[in-house]
Amino acid sequence: MDTALELRIKRDKGETISPSEIDRLLARSRLVRRLIAVEPDRGLPLVWRLLALSQIPFAERLIYTQTLADRALRELGTPSGFTLSGSATDLLVCYNAMLATALIRLGQHRAPAVSAAIGWILKHQSFARGRKTAWDGVGIQKYGGCLKATPCYIGVVKSLRALLEYRRKQRDPHLDLRIDEGIEYVLGHHLFKRRHDGAPIVPHILEVSFPESYNLSLVELLELADQAESLGDERVRPALAHAQSLRCPDGTWKATYAYSAKGFVPFDRPGNSALWAGSILKRICAKAQ
């Protein structure tokens, strides 16, 4: 087991971890060494690297992480939110939300660019069908489905994750209302189903993979339900049942998918034991019983 995963498991169990042990486990991690070996260029590789680091507890202690976070805030942050180009009009729902999520986890929730990203979600992200938005950035218009009558489901989930992470740092009644609205929308889909035929909403949504990427995964959806304290909702049961159906006889899981993109580093390789995803699924399935 990689020492970064060991650190994650200790954190998730609520164990007390001394600063010296944190630094020791981070320093010994092969995964951490791989992630910090090369500094990505701007844009998407920077997003993927920060998302990956944000899944490793206390990764914000690393100088490398601090450098990347500063770059993202400086190069990709705008008064409207995060964009891959640094131009406010190019904001895309999913990438704004993913970068905000990563930076919040890494302790940057007070940064003006993060506040702007959350503000954009609160003001413009639709969690319902047939709702118009006042956002007129040309970036979204290029890609069609982000904020149309039926909002992009990927954007919905990514935006909810950002709001939930932000709520851990700062409480706000308006935040609670928007989260409740979004969670109800996702639960209405049983996390992964199209309403009209019950089929998976998007490709790879029922895959076992980690960390999060542009594509949604079973792990990400169940983490969302857990963080929203919705595991007991009957509409989560199909996703939990699917997770259990993928469990190996020895109680573990195998990774079934890995996103492929420049700068993206999968923690679990397809066909191999899903140590990272499996540790999360095991905890969530046990909690849901």
Residues 169 and 217 in one domain: no
Residue 58 located in a structural domain? yes
Q: List Cβ neighbours of 74 (8 Å cut-off, separation of 6 or more).
A: none
Amino acid at 267: F
Q: Residue 137: pLDDT above 80?
A: no
Q: Residue 147: pLDDT above 80?
A: no
CB atoms within 10 A of CB 43: 17
- Lowest model confidence (mean pLDDT) among 66-75, 167-176, 274-283: 167-176
Q: Which domain holds residue 22?
A: 1-74
Residues 163 and 203 in one domain: no
**Chosen domain end from 54, 74, 94:** 74
Spatial contact of 228 and 257, defined as CB atoms under 8 Å apart: no
Span 24-56, pLDDT tens digits: 999 999 999 999 999 998 789 999 999 999 999
Integer Cα distance of 41 and 123 in angstroms: 30
Tokens in use for 90? 């190019």
pLDDT of residue 149: 74
pLDDT of residue 194: 92
Residue 18 located in a structural domain? yes
Residues 137 and 159 in one domain: yes
Spatial contact of 233 and 225, defined as CB atoms under 8 Å apart: yes
Residue 89 located in a structural domain? yes
Q: List Cβ neighbours of 110 (8 Å cut-off, separation of 6 or more).
A: none
Residue 252 located in a structural domain? yes
Beta-bridge partner residues of 82: 77
Residues 151 and 240 in one domain: no
Residues in the chain: 289
CA 213 to chain centre: 7
Residues 178 and 152 in one domain: yes
Quick one: pLDDT band at residue 141, thresholds 50, 70, 90? low
Residues 98 and 146 in one domain: yes
Residues 84 and 70 in one domain: no
Q: What is the DSSP letter of 90?
A: G
Residues 81 and 16 in one domain: no
Residue 156 located in a structural domain? yes
Residues 80 and 180 in one domain: yes
Residues 81 and 70 in one domain: no
Spatial contact of 284 and 226, defined as CB atoms under 8 Å apart: yes
Q: Residue 181's closest CA among 165, 194, 196, 163?
A: 163
Residues 221 and 150 in one domain: no
Q: Residue 187: pLDDT above 90?
A: yes
Amino acid at 90: D
Integer Cα distance of 3 and 276 in angstroms: 11
Tokens in use for 52? 């990956």
Residues 92 and 174 in one domain: yes
Residue 241 located in a structural domain? yes
Integer Cα distance of 170 and 179 in angstroms: 13
Residue 193 located in a structural domain? no
Residue 192 located in a structural domain? no
**Chosen domain end from 25, 43, 74:** 74
**Chosen domain end from 35, 56, 74:** 74
Tokens 């949604």 belong to residue: 216
Span 57-110, pLDDT tens digits: 999 999 999 999 999 999 999 999 999 988 888 899 999 999 999 999 999 999
Q: For the chain, what is the mean pLDDT?
A: 93
Instruction: Report DSSP letters for 215-267, one per residue.
Output: S--HHHHHHHHHHTT-TTSGGGHHHHHHHHHT--TTS--B-------TT---S
SS3 (DSSP) at 200: strand
Query: What's the total number of domains in the chain?
Result: 3
